[in-house]
Amino acid sequence: MSLSATALGALIRPCGPVIDPAIAARTHDRLIETADAGGWRAALDAAWLALEPVFAASPYLSGLARRWPDRLHDILRQDPEARLAAILSDTDALTGGAEDVRRPLRLLKAELHLLTAIADLGGHWDLDQVTGALSRFADATTRTALAAVAHDQRTRGKLTSAPDDPRGPVPGLFGLAMGKHGAFELNYSSDIDISFFFDPEQLAAALGPGVEAQTFVNRIGQGLATLLSERTADGYVFRVDLRLRPDPSSTPPVVAVPMALDYYESVGQNWERAAFIKARAVCGDAVAAAEFLNDLTPFIWRRSLDYQAVLDIQSIKRQIHVHKTGEGLEAAGANLKLGRGGIREIEFHAQTQQLILGGRDPGLRKDRTVEALAALAAAGHMPAEVADELTIAYVRLRGLEHRVQMLDDEQTHTLPADPGRRQAVAALEGHADLASFDAGVETLLAGVNRRYGELFEGEEDLSSPYGSLVFTGTDNDPETLATLERMGFSEPASVADTIRSWHHGRIPATRTARGRELFTRLAPRLLTALADTGAPDAAFRRFAVFFSGMNAGVQVQALFLGQPRLFDLVVGVMAFAPRLARALGRYPAALDSMLDARFQTELGINTGLFDQMDAEARASGDFEGAMNVVRRLHREQDFRIGIQTLSGRVGPAAAGLAYTNLADAVMRTLSEAALVETLRLGGAFPGVVAVIALGKAGSREMTASSDLDLMTVYDAPPEAVSAGKGWSADLWGARFTQRLIAALSAHTGEGGLYEVDMRLRPSGSKGPVSVRLAAFEAYYAEEAATWEFMSLTRARVVWASDADFGERVTAAIEGALRRPRPGVDVAADVRSMRDLMDRERRPSGFWDLKLASGGQVDAEFVGQYRQLVRAAAGATLTVSTVDQLGHDPVLAESWTLHQQLSQLLACAFEDRPDPDAEPSAFQARLAEGADAPDFDRLRAQLADVRMRARAAFETALPCPRDGVSDDPR
Ligand SMILES: NC(=O)CC[C@H](N)C(=O)O
């Protein structure tokens, strides 16, 4: 039997060259056999010219033809429209449960695919007819599948409504076709995006007793997805994606309508608005679906948009990196959908404009891309030639995409990199010469990409120098994953997921629309800054803790956006300074201090800190209040000094001074408070008291991790007692000191301050916690050992209840230092002290800056030794280690380098740091902070200076056993 004039077999033309006649011949042989047997050889012969290039190029289509030759015959002999109508009505007519429809649906899909491909490739159907056929078939299968899974639930008694209920197989439940399917633009081998929602009230009436609604609808949604997507011997129907729903990573697969409306109205994204442009009810309760879509209209089409909202909508397209046109565009491996110059650029071009303008102009609310372009051009929002050019490109790109998918029925959008397979695509599009096909594709992509780039002129780019950073949509954008990988993240997908969850408003910082708009702009800068630290993983982890811990985000994000340098600093902190990162994470308010003008002022300049602390502490009303005020201000300042130290703004001396000035302000404020508290508790007392700092606080060389070495000294008339409790002077001094220690070291709701060490006081731990000035003097005159005098070289009165008393104490310290100690070999004492220490406390490793041979203790001991000798000789005294080492340049050099490193390490880390284990970017920064060219050379430099310093130490304090020293013992 030959073909009628309207039969598809008579209407089709060859699509292009036959790239592999042998392969086509194998299919041909098989078909001839069946056609001869079935009596349709003439029909086959009539169509063969058009079929041969198709079967030569597409393994998938020849497979279908060989497997079901009779279906091919049906397709060839009938009018294609009639055949399509029959496939659709057969699909709709299927009844029964999942078991009953599983196989027929797959056979119908194969037939539909063969029909569509032949009509398309044979030049009979245009793009609209092709996508229309695919979409309508998807509609029908979805309806049938829903009816089938509902049928099964009905059989099991879970669903009580009638199969022909006017509200659909499951009253209240409906599915929306989203994306291309929704707009009848479905791809040849695409997933279908269906969003399921349910109206709880409607549904409740239809459920069997004790059936829980959410569980039930989940089962329906998933059952439908499985029925269509699972692969059996007959293939599959459609892969179904249920994720185009509110925040799919945290919601069930089928969402209740009230919850969905609430989500879209409160945290809905612009890209979700864009997705709803194409949404359409496809199966289930049509009444509920219409109501839902109607209720969503104001969400999708917003009547008024402020500038920030417009920018945010445009972010959808601005996240794609715009290259210089033409550069690096290649046909081989080009992603026709998501790649440069691809379909997505055309869609975004249209959709962003639609979202911005469609609220006021309903004429722009077109669901189909080609129509949207035309409407935008007609309304004057796009030059007609741009719309035409993009339309032509769109049609060709979609055609190419279909041809790529027809090769193997795979959901791919990539022009094969393999020349042989690309040749097959070219042939299906009518090209014999691969080079000219490639060149044509490249021109096409470049044209779209150029138009797309024009959209950005004058707009802020939301990608990064590293590439695209797209976080819209439900799938990870492949280019974005590549960008993140290039940035150095070891788990790009999890970074993308976290960023996406922030966009979804899952943390307080992005819970408001404004917070999200700001985050859209901040995200690319954040990722770029993280990458630039060289330690993006650690930095991201710490930033995430910080950012998700903030209880609001607008102010901070606006600050970051307005102050890029500051932002880079904060990100650097995240990368390199867990201690500061943790402080920020726990008390994000510390960031507020960055807003303070004083934050960026030079350290060292008197910023009025003590006055502020003192005033606020007094205003706080009581002792506890004062402790909290001081802790808050301390934290801010500590953070400020830490940032400046870490960023290299201040050197070690200035940092030491700054940390010490801070400690001084704290000690003064809390000494005042402790005194007031002591008088309040014990009653008036005619005594005076002073606080002496020793150690690094005394020498003004504190780091972020220094503790406070303190002693207190008091004086009072001999028999004085306090008015209230009748405390004697020693009790009063002790009470004050205990209050002070508590004030400095206790942890309150505002955190802690310092560890306090009182062991350097006269008689150490065995002595009273506070001593009378006379006892202090007597102790150093009679009992103190050389190591106690060493400590005293760094003693400094930081606070006194009475200025005169403070001066008396200062004079007493100096007196003690200068008093000759006949018969004492200071050098030998210092040396044996150092040796003892070396035996008892070994350095913990190369980075033990204190105890390393030639490290800080060696230098400090020599300095203190020099100071003691100088004091006895009546020379000027100093607490500073470097000044004490004026005549020992090598030791001073070593001490300074160690101090520099210890400042950096102390502000960055809480525990004992191991720079060898830190990211190389941190090592580089450490080297830079110490003026070394790189980390390896820093280590070498350190080893070298230690060796020289140790030699200088040996010269200054020779070992008594060597007989060089004149040790009298
Ligand atoms: N995930 C995102 O990148 C969000 C971008 C933009 N805020 C939107 O709503 O689409």
**CATH no., domain 79-300:** 3.30.460.10
The predicted pLDDT at position 607 comes to 66
Instruction: Decide if 79-300 and 580-818 have a common fold.
Output: yes
Range of lowest pLDDT (98-107, 193-202, 539-548, 913-922): 913-922
Q: Kindly state the percentage of the chain with pLDDT values over 70.
A: 97
Q: Which amino acid belongs to residue 797?
A: V
Would you say residue 805 has pLDDT above 70? yes
Q: Residues 278-296: pLDDT tens digits?
A: 999 999 999 999 999 999 9
pLDDT band at 964 (very low <50, low <70, confident <90, very high): very low
Ligand 1 near 703 CB (within 6 A): no
The predicted pLDDT at position 595 comes to 64
Q: What is the CA radius of gyration of the chain?
A: 40
Distance CA 516, CA 314 (A): 14
Q: Please name the fold of domain 580-818.
A: Beta Polymerase; domain 2 (3.30.460)
Distance CA 608, CA 601 (A): 12
Cα 398 to middle of ligand 1, angstroms: 26
Would you say residue 714 has pLDDT above 80? yes
**Given the CA of residue 519, which atom of ligand 1 is nearest to it?**
7
Q: Please name the fold of domain 826-962.
A: Four Helix Bundle (Hemerythrin (Met), subunit A) (1.20.120)
The predicted pLDDT at position 146 comes to 98
The predicted pLDDT at position 597 comes to 63
Mean pLDDT to the nearest integer, 594-612:
71
Ligand 1 near 316 CB (within 6 A): yes
pLDDT band at 943 (very low <50, low <70, confident <90, very high): very high
Would you say residue 185 has pLDDT above 90? yes
pLDDT band at 439 (very low <50, low <70, confident <90, very high): very high
Mean pLDDT to the nearest integer, 465-476:
91
Distance CA 513, CA 815 (A): 68
Contacts of 296 (CB under 8 A, 6+ apart): 261, 264, 276
Closest CA to 483 of 468, 495, 498, 470: 468
How does strand 770-772 pair with strand 280-284?
A: unpaired
Q: Residues 20-51: pLDDT tens digits?
A: 999 999 999 999 999 999 999 999 999 999 99
Distance CA 703, CA 902 (A): 7
Strand ranges, E, within 862-933: none
Mean pLDDT to the nearest integer, 636-655:
85
Q: Which amino acid belongs to residue 54?
A: V
- For the chain, what are the domain ranges? 79-300, 463-575, 580-818, 826-962
Contacts of 895 (CB under 8 A, 6+ apart): 856, 859, 860, 863, 881, 882, 885, 949
Higher pLDDT, 115 or 1: 115
Ligand 1 near 199 CB (within 6 A): no
Q: Residues 504-516: pLDDT tens digits?
A: 999 999 999 999 9
The predicted pLDDT at position 414 comes to 96
Pick the most confident of 448-457, 641-650, 946-955: 946-955
The predicted pLDDT at position 962 comes to 53
Would you say residue 948 has pLDDT above 70? yes
Would you say residue 605 has pLDDT above 90? no
Burial zone of 414 (CB within 10 Å; 0-12 exposed, 13-18 middle, 19+ buried): middle
Mean pLDDT to the nearest integer, 356-379:
96
Q: Residues 331-350: pLDDT tens digits?
A: 999 999 999 999 999 999 99
Distance CA 508, CA 551 (A): 5
Range of lowest pLDDT (637-651, 685-699, 712-726, 770-784): 637-651
The predicted pLDDT at position 581 comes to 85
pLDDT band at 967 (very low <50, low <70, confident <90, very high): very low
Q: What is the mean pLDDT of the chain?
A: 93
The predicted pLDDT at position 379 comes to 96
Q: Which amino acid belongs to residue 785?
A: A
Mean pLDDT to the nearest integer, 102-123:
97
**Given the CA of residue 499, which atom of ligand 1 is nearest to it?**
1
Cα 843 to middle of ligand 1, angstroms: 53
The predicted pLDDT at position 551 comes to 83
The predicted pLDDT at position 832 comes to 94
Structure tokens at 543: 């930033």
The predicted pLDDT at position 604 comes to 64
Are 172 and 288 in contact by the 8 Å Cβ rule? The answer is yes
pLDDT band at 606 (very low <50, low <70, confident <90, very high): low
Listed in sequence order, the DSSP H helices in 599-754 are: 609-619, 623-646, 652-682, 695-698, 729-745
Ligand 1 near 902 CB (within 6 A): no
**Given the CA of residue 268, which atom of ligand 1 is nearest to it?**
9
Range of lowest pLDDT (77-81, 437-441, 646-650, 832-836): 646-650
Cα 472 to middle of ligand 1, angstroms: 5
> Which CB contacts under 8 angstroms, 24+ apart, belong to 493-498?
495/527, 495/540, 496/471, 497/249, 498/540, 498/544
How does strand 240-241 pair with strand 254-256?
A: unpaired
Cα 316 to middle of ligand 1, angstroms: 6
Q: Which amino acid belongs to residue 609?
A: L
Are 776 and 762 in contact by the 8 Å Cβ rule? The answer is yes
The predicted pLDDT at position 579 comes to 87
Q: Residues 371-418: pLDDT tens digits?
A: 999 999 999 999 999 999 999 999 999 999 999 999 999 999 999 999
Would you say residue 462 has pLDDT above 60? yes
How many C-beta neighbours within 10 Å does residue 330 have? 14
The predicted pLDDT at position 954 comes to 96
To the nearest 10°, report the CA torsion of 809, 812, 814, 816.
-140
Which residues, listed in sequence order, are joined to residue 281 by a DSSP beta bridge?
Answer: 176
Distance CA 678, CA 727 (A): 11
Ligand 1 near 516 CB (within 6 A): yes
